[in-house]
Amino acid sequence: MAEADATAEKSLKIRNTGSLSRRMIGVAALWILVLLFGGGMALDRVLSDAITRNFDGGIEYVLNSMVAAGEIGPEGEVRFSRALADQRFLEPNSGLYWQVSGKGFDAFPSRSLWDRRLKVAPHQDGDIHVYDSREFPDQKLRVMERDVQLPDSPVMWRFQVAADRAGLDEQIATLRRTLVRSFALLGLGLILMAALQTLYGLWPLRRLGEAIGEMRTGKANRVDEAMPNEVQPMIQELNALLAHNEKQAEEAREHAGNLAHALKTPLTVIMNAATANAPDLGETVVREAATMRRQVDHHLARARAVGRRGTAHSRAEVWKSLDSVERAVARLYPHVRFDLDGPKDLKVHVERQDLDEMLGNLIENAAKYGGGSVFVTVQQAGRFVEFLVEDDGMGIPEEDRQRIFDRGARLDTGKPGTGLGLAIVRDVAEIYDGAVGLEESEDLGGLLVRLRLPLAE
């Protein structure tokens, strides 16, 4: 018993694949971090370049002023026609320097260089060159230089301006600290927003779980709470499934009750006959056993159809079933002529076994009670498929057409049978939301049975 309970408990456990909320928040957080990192790197590059260009623009302005003020002295040396305005050029080691160099001449430096000189590397053009230099151990320099040949001088003069990068680096560092703090705060805010959005968006699923729990404990039998549009179809399908299960349970109880009631009378008759030692006990047992067998066959057929109903995959090809049934009945009634007509590509939402049983009962009845001709027509009627089974027999009077569907009802007692054929057809057809009716055949003059079953596309 304990082993059975353990097995049942194990079968109820569902493999857990983790939290959906954590997945969504994790994916959102990762994507936010990737976007912010990429955007921060791009923004840092743009702003850093802008600050550097602004810094270089100031140096370039000084370099151009030097070139504009430069002139050749009496001994061929370079001198300035006017002094450069920035006071830092006069302060030793101030961080802002200039120098003019030429081949064959001593370097002409700013006072701020004091006893140091800027390195001169050869160039092959007169363009402006900008680079960083560590030639001063205590300062990282930003150097801008240009080779210029002044009027009345054959010498190519090197004009250089150097500035300490400390201020530029501090601006860039301040910018990056600001970007990191701002983007960190933005990322945290976006992640919190994604978390709140996920928790709020998945809240209806939690309410759905609670509602299902209430149904399991018997506090409710349906999910009646209002849900968002995305969840509402699932609620409708769940309620439909519950209704379907309740209907099947009710039908099972009804079948059990009907079968018990149907068997009660024959069993009572047999018991009374056996108790009284009736002389016809054997005949009574055979007669009542046949009655009980008819009832059992009927309820078993109906129970099988109920058990197979409700699956969306239930479908059967009409013509294959019809052709198979016609061949089987033709062997039982070789003197009967069967004619089949209709499209051969139709399908119905019925299990093949149930379709064979319904068509078999109808075609066999037509062959048994007809005059030798059976005509079966298949046609589509909207969302249904109609089967018209006609024979050339005596037909059934209109006042008896409803009664003939009762279990065990037979109008012709001279031929063998249980009287359950049409009753089974009606019950099974109704289980599949179909219907069956009796009419008079205009072509053959006998009975026309119209069976309607749902079309499967």
Phi, psi (deg, nearest 5) at residue 55: -65, -45
Total domains present in the chain: 3
Q: For residue 421, is pLDDT > 80?
A: no
pLDDT (average), residues 337-352: 92
DSSP notation for 379-429:
EEETTEEEEEEEESS----GGGTTGGGSTT--S-TTS---S-HHHHHHHHH
pLDDT at 363: 92
Task: Answer with the residue of higher pLDDT: 215 or 2.
Answer: 215
Q: Do 388 and 283 fall within a single domain? A: no
Q: Do 282 and 321 fall within a single domain? A: no
Is the overall model pTM greater than 0.75, yes or no?
A: no
Q: Do 61 and 95 fall within a single domain? A: yes
Q: Is residue 436 part of a domain?
A: yes
Q: Is residue 333 part of a domain?
A: yes
pLDDT (average), residues 220-224: 78
pLDDT at 9: 53
Q: How far apart are CA 302 and CA 251, in angstroms?
A: 10
Q: For residue 229, is pLDDT > 90?
A: no
Q: Is residue 80 part of a domain?
A: yes
Give the pLDDT confidence of 360-400 residue by residue, as tens digits.
Answer: 989 998 998 888 899 999 999 999 999 999 999 888 888 77
One-letter amino acid for residue 302 of the chain:
R
Q: Is residue 166 part of a domain?
A: yes
Tell me the chain's radius of gyration from C-alpha atoms: 50
Q: Do 75 and 192 fall within a single domain? A: yes
What's the mean per-residue pLDDT of the chain?
83
Taking the CA atoms of 410, 413, 415 and 419 in sequence, report the sign of the dihedral they define.
Answer: positive
Q: Do 326 and 348 fall within a single domain? A: yes
Residues 6 or more apart in contact with residue 400 via CB below 8 angstroms: 411
Give the pLDDT confidence of 107-130 residue by residue, as tens digits.
Answer: 999 999 998 999 998 887 889 999
Q: Do 271 and 143 fall within a single domain? A: no
Q: Is residue 208 part of a domain?
A: no
Q: Do 320 and 302 fall within a single domain? A: no
Q: Is residue 3 part of a domain?
A: no
CATH of the domain at 353: 3.30.565.10
The answer to whether the CB of 139 falls within 8 A of the CB of 95 is yes
Q: Do 32 and 149 fall within a single domain? A: yes
Q: Is residue 138 part of a domain?
A: yes
Residue 287: which domain range? 232-307
pLDDT band at 307 (very low <50, low <70, confident <90, very high): low
Q: How far apart are CA 411 and CA 413, in angstroms?
A: 6
Q: Is residue 217 part of a domain?
A: no
pLDDT at 297: 67
Instruction: Give the pairing of strands 347-348 and 316-317.
Output: antiparallel
Q: Do 288 and 371 fall within a single domain? A: no
pLDDT at 413: 41
Looking at 272, 291, 307, the residue that finishes a domain is 307
pLDDT at 92: 92
Tokens 């040949």 — which residue? 149
Lowest mean per-residue pLDDT among 61-75, 177-191, 234-248, 370-384: 234-248
pLDDT at 134: 92
Q: Do 289 and 179 fall within a single domain? A: no
Looking at 179, 201, 223, the residue that finishes a domain is 201
Give the pLDDT confidence of 243-287 residue by residue, as tens digits.
Answer: 877 777 776 676 666 666 667 777 777 787 788 777 877 777 777
Q: Do 36 and 140 fall within a single domain? A: yes
Q: Do 184 and 289 fall within a single domain? A: no
Looking at 307, 342, 365, the residue that finishes a domain is 307
Q: For residue 3, is pLDDT > 90?
A: no
pLDDT at 314: 76
